[in-house]
Amino acid sequence: MSVVPKLSLPCYGKTELNRFGKIGKKLGNMELTAIEKERYSRHILLDEVGEEGQKQLKASRVLVIGAGGLGCPALQYLAAAGVGNIVIIDADIVSRSNLQRQILYAEKDIGKPKAEVAAKRLQAQNPTIEIQYFTEALSANNALSLFKNFDLIVEGSDNFSTKYLANDAAVLANKPLVMASIFKFEGQLSVFNYNNGPTYRCLFPDRAAAESIPTCSEVGVLGVLPGIMGNLMANEVLKIILGIGEILQGRLLRFNSLTFQFQVFSFQKDSSIDIDKLEKIAISCPDENAIKTISFEEFQQKKESFTLVDVRTDSERNLKSLGGLHIPLSELSKRALELENNDNLVVYCAAGSRSKIAVTQLQQEFPQKKILNLEGGINLVQANQK
């Protein structure tokens, strides 16, 4: 691959974005101060970076979607490297279960907005840059107006609706998208829409299949894995801004933390995929009002009149199970007719999110059936039994 061209990054003036939480002050002159020259001296020593490269970093604007497991390490290293304008968007709050891997937060931050806590922590670590944040979710209503203000986008969320939305908005706004994902002991990373290259949909065209994959909150994740993948994301961002190295476009990096194997797979741009608007309906967010739940205690009292349906993956089923019929969510659309003769269904997964999607699908297939979602999934059942 050829060396990538340097970006021509403008010096931005007053932002037009609303609802910002502002931490730092506006950067003016893109010349490096004496303090910045000392802070970034190890960058400046590199022939491939130098003072001009450091000025490029100072002038750049990067939007980071998600301040969780992937976002925390990516943000720390982008801020430390001197990326001059960083904006964080995340609607989540800090919980105790985050602290195992989301290294920007502490016990005292539980219950606080992640984006705000992260912004303050990063600004304290590097006062020479500007940090801003949104405590709201990325949506079809705000994505395009956000993306147009940045040089590139970093996507580290934990749900596929946001990933597809970020991909489509990046295509429409013509911005490169650095994206990673993690699952238990494995991580994936690629750069999409770089120089009109392949997009996320070229690699994963079947959104419904992607939605069937359980999240970290359902199956767990090794704490160091998002740190590794988040740093690799930051590496791609710096390469793109500085115009050095070979960008991971048209290639998917897979990392297995147990075997310490890195694999790179090539994929091509699918010219038949036409993205002309943003989808406003997220598969991962079914109509909560249309879904009725049942607790495990209630199910136990009435289990003779219900059929239990497990929509988790084969590997999850093998580890632990409540019994019942097994139809993984990714196969449900093809195998739904297997439930035709069962009148009352209780659907479960690990924590209750995939089963909501399954209930929605089954309600469309069998509008006359009574179909309930098992509250909290198998995780809640096991927690209550301890």
**pLDDT per residue over 207-229, tens digit each?**
655 555 566 555 678 999 999 99
- Using CA atoms, how far apart are residues 187 and 23, in angstroms rounded to an integer? 32
**Residue 22 confidence (pLDDT):** 46
**Residue 210 confidence (pLDDT):** 57
Task: Work out the percent of the chain whose per-residue pLDDT is above 70.
Answer: 86
**CA angle, 130 then 59 then 244, to 5°:** 125
CB atoms within 10 A of CB 334: 9
* pTM to 2 decimal places: 0.71
- Using CA atoms, how far apart are residues 243 and 320, in angstroms rounded to an integer? 49
Which tokens in the block code for residue 4?
Answer: 């990538």
**Residue 381 confidence (pLDDT):** 83
- Using CA atoms, how far apart are residues 151 and 7, in angstroms rounded to an integer? 9
Which residues are CB-contacts of 172 (< 8 A; sequence separation ≥ 6)?
144, 147, 275, 276, 277, 278
What are the distances in angstroms from CA 146 to CA 20, 89, 139, 285? 11, 10, 10, 22
What's the average model confidence in pLDDT over 27-36?
83
Which tokens in the block code for residue 229?
Answer: 């993948």
**Residue 14 confidence (pLDDT):** 30
- Using CA atoms, how far apart are residues 303 and 341, in angstroms rounded to an integer? 16
CB atoms within 10 A of CB 297: 10
What's the average model confidence in pLDDT over 41-67?
96
Q: Are 180 and 235 in contact (CB under 8 A)?
A: no
